[in-house]
Structure 1
Amino acid sequence: MQQLKTLLIFLAIPIISFAQDYNIGERTIIYHDNSRNRPIKAEIWYPTSEIDSTYQRRTELPFHLAPTIRNAKFADNSFPLIVISHGTGGNRLSLAWLAIELVKNGYVVVAPDHWGNTFDNKIPEYFVRYWERPQDISFLLTSMLADESINYYIDEARIGMLGFSFGGYTTLALAGVELDCELIKKYAKSRDGKNEFNVPELGDLRKLVHEINCNEMPATLKDDRFKVFVAMAPAWGLGVPDEPQPIIKPVLIIGANNDKVAPIETNALKYHRLIPKSKYSLLEGRIGHYIFLNVGNNELQKQAKRYYLDDKLVNRQLIHEQVTTEVLLFLKTNLK
C-alpha cells in the first residue's frame, strides 16, 4: 500500500521546467594533474544553438538518453556551471540523464571520471582514498576556468556541485565536511562498516580501509568557489564525527528510503542532522540506492541486474523527473 501511495504521489507532482531554447552540445575533455600524476577525463554538456544533422542519439551507449550534438559550438552566453561526481565504480556518464536536463534549463554541466574508481579502471586503493575525489573536482574546475575554449561560457559567480553515493560524499567534502580517518577505521570493524565497505564493484574493502595512511590527508578539501551543493544518497557518513559541521552555504541532501548500500540512518540523515541548515528530501517507499543511475536499455538491465532491481511499482524515469524538478528548484532558489 505504501509503495502504491508513493507512486501516486509522484504522479501528482508537476514537472517544473525552467527550459530555454537550447539544444544540448556534448564533448569530451582531458586535463592532466601533474601533481598527482593522473588524467582527469571529463564529459561536458552545454547549451548550443546548433540544430544541424549531427543532432543524434549516441547509439553506442546502453542508456535511454536525449540526443546531443557532439562537439557543437557553445551558445554565445555565459551560464552557471554544475559539476557532477559519480558513484563508486561508475563513470562520468553515470548521471548523464540529469546533466542533460540541467543543460536544457540553461546550465553547463561537467562530470569527470575519478581515476582508479571507475567501472573500467578499478584500482583497489582508490576505492578508499576518499580525499582524492574532491581534489579531482577542484583540479578540474581550476583547469576549466583557465581553458580559453570554455571559460568564456561559464559564470564564475554561479558554480554548483552535485554528486551521487561516493560522489555525494565528494560533494559534501567540498562544502566543508571533514571525515575522521581513525573513526573510519574503527567503524570498518562494526556491523555497519561490514555492510557499507562491501561494495558490489570490488567486494570487501575493510582490509584496504585499515591500510589507509591518515597522514596523506590534505589539511582541507573545501573549495569556496562552489556556491551550492546537492548530495544524492551520499556515502561515507560513518566517518563523520558526531558534531555539527560548520557549513553555511545551501546544501540539499536527497535520500532513498530503501537504500541498502548507503543506508539513510548512517548517511543521508546523519549528514542532514550534522549540517544544521541543510535541506533534506526523502524518496519514499521501496526506492533503492541505484535509482539515480541512467535508465538502461533491455540488454544493460540483463547484464547489470544489480543496478536495475527496482521494485515493480517504482518507475525510474518518473523518479528522475521528480529529482530533476527538485534539483532545478533548489538551484534556481540558491544559485543566484
Structure 2
Amino acid sequence: MKHLALLAALSLAPTHAFAETSIGMADFTYDAAHHGKPVSSVIWYPSNDGGTVIRAAENAVFYGVDARQDGLLSDGGKLPVVVLSHGLGGNWRSLAWLAEDLAGQGALVISINHPASSTFDFDMAEGLKHWTRARDMSRALDKLMDDPTFSGRIDTSRIMAAGFSYGGWTALSLGGVKGNLAGEAAECEAQGEASTHCSDLKKAGISFGDLDADMWNASYKDQRITHVAAIDPALHHGFTKANVADLTADTLMIGLGEGKDRLVATDFDASGFVEILPDAKVVRIVPAYHFSLLPLCKPAGAAILKEENDDPVCTDPAGAKRADIHAEVASAISTQLGL
C-alpha cells in the first residue's frame, strides 16, 4: 500500500517527554532462527515508577501515547498476557494505542515487528509465508516465560494472541486455525481488482499458486494460547469446519464497517468464516472502516496524506469517531480477558 513509505519516514520522528503515566515499555528483541535474524518487539506493562516518560509512536500524521521507557514493573499479582500482531506492512506503532490501553488495565502486552511484513522490513513474497509470523509470536512467549522480570507474574490461564488484519489471521493461526491456500487462490480469482489485497499481490507478480500448500495449510497452534482476538482478520476464505477443529481458545472476532465500508479481504461475514465459529463472540463496529484501527490522526494528518498522494487512512466514514471505535475494540478485548 502506498502509505507504507510515508509512514516509514514519519515514524522516525523523535519522541519528547510528556505527562506522568502508569504504563511502562521496553525493548523486547529476541532471536528467531526461522528468520535468521532477531525479531524487534516492544513490551508494555503496568509501571508507576522509574524510567523516562516519553511520547511513543508519534509522528506528523498520528498521535502517540505516553509511556515510561524502561520503567519498573509495578508490584502486584499475576497478569494476563497479550501477544499483538500488526497488519501487512505495519509495525508495533500501528497498535500502540491498544497496547497502551491494555497495559493500563493490567496486562503484559508484546507488540511484534514481523520480519518481511513490517514497515521497515518488507518483502511481499517472504511476508506471505504466514507461518513465520506465528513462530514470531511463539518465540515471543518463549522469551517472556524465560525473562526474570516478567516470568513470575504471568497468568497462564489468560494468554491471548491478538492481531489486526493480517495480524488477525496470525492470531487465529496461533490459536489453532489451519489455512486454506486453495481457498485464497479461488477468492482472488473471483474478486480480482475488487480486493485490494489480491490486486497488490498481482502488481507484485505474486500468485498464491507459487506458495507451499503444505506449509500454508499446516497447524501452527501454540498450546499456551487460551484466548484469541482477531480484528478484521484476513486469509479466511474457503474454510470448512475442518480448518477450525483445533481452535480451542476463547475467541473474539471484531469486524469493522458494513457495505461499501467493509474491506473485501477481511469480511468474515461474506467469506462465511464466522458461520463455522459458533462459539466465538462477534462484535461488529459501525460506522467504521478497516483503517479506523490505525492511531488517532492529527488535524493535519489527512491533508499530509493527500499532499503525498497517499491512501486516505485518516478519513473515516460519515458519523464514525475513531476514538470511540478504539474504545469499543479495547473494551471488547479487555472484557474477554477479564481485566
Instruction: List runs of 5+ in structure 2 lacking aligned partners.
Output: 1-20
Say whether the 8 Å CA contact 2:254–2:285 is kept in structure 1.
Answer: yes
Amino acid at match of 2:118: T
> SS at 1:30's partner residue?
coil
Alignment partner, residue 231 of structure 1 = 230
Q: C-alpha separation between the residues in 1 aligned to 2:37 and 2:194?
A: 30
Aligned CA distance change for structure 1 residues 194 and 242 (closer, same or farther; 3 Å): farther
RMSD (Å), alpha carbons: 2.7
Matched residue, 1:49: 48
Q: Once the 2 structures are TM-superposed, how far is the Cα of residue 97 of structure 1 from its aligned partner?
A: 0.7
Q: Give 1:207 deviation, angstroms.
A: 2.6
Preserved CA contact (<8 Å) 2:179 2:243: no
Question: Cα distance, 1:139 vs. partner?
Answer: 1.3
**Could you tell me how far 1:162 is from its partner in structure 2?**
0.9
Alignment correspondent of 2:333: 327
Query: Structure 1 residue 167: deviation in Å?
Result: 0.6
Kept after mapping to 1: 8 A contact 2:193/2:199: no
The TM-score with structure 1 as length reference comes to: 0.83
TM-score with structure 2 length normalisation? 0.82
Match of residue 13 from structure 1: none
Residue 270 of structure 1 is matched in structure 2 by: 272
Kindly tell me the number of residue pairs found equivalent between the two proteins. 309
- CA gap of 1:180–1:328, structure 2 versus 1, over 3 A, is same
The one-letter code of the counterpart of 1:178 is K
Deviation readout 1:131-168 (Å, 9 max, x if unpaired): 22111111111122112233233223321111100011
Contact 1:25 1:48 in 2 (8 A): yes
**1:116 to 2:116 alignment:** yes
* Contact map agreement 1:84 1:161 (CA 8 A) in 2: yes
Cα distance in 1 for partners of 2:314, 2:335 equals: 27
In structure 2, distance between residues paired with 1:252 and 1:88: 20
The residue type paired with residue 130 of structure 1 is: H
- Residue correspondence of structure 1 range 1-336 to structure 2 within 5 A: 23-50=22-49, 54-58=52-56, 61-62=59-60, 63-77=62-76, 78-191=78-191, 195-198=195-198, 204=203, 207-217=206-216, 219-241=218-240, 245-246=244-245, 247-256=247-256, 257=258, 258-265=261-268, 270-285=272-287, 287-301=288-302, 302-303=304-305, 304-332=310-338
CA distance 1:28–1:153, shift in 2 (3 Å): same
1:115 Cα deviation from its structure 2 partner:
0.4
Identity percentage of aligned residues: 24
Aligned residues of 1:238 and 1:266 also touching (Cα < 8 A):
no
**1:43-77 CA distance string (max 9 Å, x none):** 1110012167x324238544323311101111123
Q: Point out where structure 1 has 5 or more consecutive residues left out of the alignment.
A: 1-21
Shift of 1:104: 1.2
Q: Deviations over 1:204-261 (max 9, x none)?
A: 3573422112244484201120111111001111253465722333111010122225
Look up the match of 2:12.
none
Q: Contact (CA 8 Å) 1:171, 1:231: kept in 2 or not?
A: yes
**Match in the other structure for 1:12:** none
Shift of residue 310 of structure 1? 0.9
Distance 1:330 1:199, change over 3 A: farther
